[in-house]
Amino acid sequence: MDIDWAGLVLQPQWLTRLDKLALKRFTQQGLAEEASTYVLDKLSADNWACCQQYAGNAKAETYVLTLTTHLLEEFSRKRFGRVRPPEWLKREGELWIRTWKMICMERQATTSVIDQLTNSAIRSTEFVQGIITIIKARLPWCGQSAREIPANEDANIDNTTEAFHSNTKQTLETALDHDQLEDALLLVHQLLLSDDCPSEQDKDTHNMHYTAEQWQQLREHLSLDEEERLLLKMVYQQGLKLKVVAAALNMPDYQPGRLLKAIHQRIRDSLQAAKIQLEVLQ
Amino acid sequence: MSADMDKTTSQQQAEAMIALHATQGAQQPQGEQPSHEELALLLDGRLSFIRRKEVMSHINANTDLFSHWVSLVEAKSILNETTENKLNLLQHLQQWLNPTRLGFIGTALAAITTVAIVLPLLDESAMISPQQPRSTPDYANSGNMQLETAVQEGIVLTYINYSEELKQALPINKRLSKQTIPEPSTLSTLNPLAIQFGETLLESYRSCQQAGLKSAHLQQNKIKQLLIALKLPDWPEAKDPATYCKQVDKEINNWIE
């Protein structure tokens, strides 16, 4: 596909967008400029080699946006390293990991993290504030030591798909045993009750002990297709507003709300069938 | 956790989290790992139904890919917001400028114009104080500023609009890509000098190509010669081509690696 990538990327409008995205991502002007330059360097390297995989199916602008967001994160990894977050944090979802990274690794101020993550009103301030509170309560060392860890050879844009592949096996859970059931329910418990001062002590005090059989029943009774899972993750794990989710999944604005209503009804039916009552949590 | 999160409740949040954990790993990702272009296609809503499901299955199963997807969604939202804000401003302006207000503004403008034209005619001498001569623009300083701006805009304009061949001739400069680049909407209103400069650069490049001269230095000399020959309208510095070209030369050296 013959596209004038230099003309597209170096046009003032796109450069302004790039600067804006970098500034939103890294807050500090100097770091944002460094990130912008990194993206431009990577995109234009070897006569725009990384753009050459473009087959002409997507809009060129969206394609460049995809590469740009990827490269901004790649810059962050190279600048701050790639340290594995605690297991409990990983189970909470991607937004928690991202928040942890911003607060604990990149040592950004709480206000600027909230500002970034609630940009354009894509999610509520309270949602992000709640996550930060829990992370800081559980990880008191968070953000206290300077960490500038140059990454090694990983994360080259040319082997992006390989990088994605390498993590697939690690992130897929083949089954949930009894202990995992405990974890999952503990997670919900913390979500609902422990906003003020969550801690590991909650494990000892919570009163939700369900059997593995009940959990298995729930798994057998409940099924979600890929779109439904993605919808739930974007709305509840990421805290994205329904309007943003609708735009991302190319739905009418009213559609995510309707889908969620139907999904919740099915979840409630499945919970009922497994004799799991969430009402006790309220 | 958040009462106003699109009217979702803690109960729904808990149900969703339970459901996500209960169904995690129930299905393996389907099809090929999505490429960057397929993520772009998903965002634009241009994937086929089957492939859409497959790509979603990978996004759900792979935390890195999911993270990338969310970043992409957020970036789109941030960029769209800017456009929407501009549109909203225009819409507000349109609403504000209703026929009644337009009539009023028209009358006011007509009155102001009349006063501005008639008053100087009535007493021109009274408008100029003998103690305070009519101020003249600082051509020396403004000329330098104009030159700098024009040269920079001219190079940028050339980069953007003129010729792919010239883009290759002048290597990408980080400063150039990050500074003093005008918005596309302002390109048509650029300083005429900048446009002339851009055209000259291109012409110069072609001449050098025809003559088999490829080095940036030789191009600069050629540009300088062409600039000397250039007649610059109504610009004081144009009477001094040597100064002009010296400045241009300096600017080009600054900009071209």
Among candidates A54, A247, A267 on the partner chain, residue whose Cβ is nearest the Cβ of B37: A54
Helix, strand, or coil here: B67?
helix
Res A275: pLDDT: 83
What is the Cα–Cα distance from B191 to B180, expressed in whole angstroms? 13
Look over chain A and give the mean of its residue pLDDT values, rounded to a whole number: 76
- Give the highest mean pLDDT range of A208-212, B17-21, B50-54, B132-136: B50-54
- What count of CB pairs under 8 Å joins A to B? 275
Q: Are A7 and B164 in contact (CB under 8 A)?
A: yes
- Using DSSP's 3-state secondary structure scheme, residue B224 falls into helix
Whether the CB-CB separation of B66 and A94 falls below 8 Å is answered with yes
A263 pLDDT higher than 90:
yes
- The predicted structure's pLDDT at residue A36: 92
Whether the pLDDT of residue A249 is over 60: the answer is: yes
For residue B41, give the nearest of A57, A230, A276 by CB distance: A57
Interchain pair A66, B43: CB under 8 A:
yes
Under 8 Å between Cβ of B151 and B197: yes
What tokens were used for A251?
């739905």
For residue B84, is it left (φ>0), alpha (ψ between -120 and 50) or beta? Answer: alpha
- A174: chain B residues, CB-CB within 8 Å: 25
Which amino acid is residue B35, in one-letter code? S
Nearest to B184 among A12, A36, A260 (CB): A12
**More confident call, B202 vs A201:** B202
Q: What is the pLDDT of residue A160?
A: 37
ipTM score here?
A: 0.73
pLDDT tens-digit profile of B109-162?
566 556 555 555 444 443 433 333 333 333 334 444 444 555 555 555 554 444
* Nearest Cα residue to A102 out of A113, A92, A91: A113
Is there a contact between A57 and B27 if contact means CB atoms under 8 Å apart? no
Average pLDDT estimate for B34-58: 92
With b meaning 16 or more CB within 10 Å and e meaning fewer, what string describes A127-150?
bbbbbbbbbbebbeebbeeeeeee
pLDDT in tens, A172-194: 333 334 445 555 555 555 555 44
pLDDT digits (tens, 9 = 90+) for B207-245: 545 555 444 444 455 444 444 444 333 333 344 545 544
Q: What is the pTM of this model?
A: 0.56
More confident: B36 or A160: B36
Q: Is pLDDT above 80 for B57? A: yes
Q: Report how far residue A136's alpha carbon sits from residue A198's, in angstroms, rounded to the nearest whole number.
A: 10
Q: Does pLDDT of A116 surpass 80? A: yes
The packing angle between helices A125-138 and A110-117, to 10°, is 140
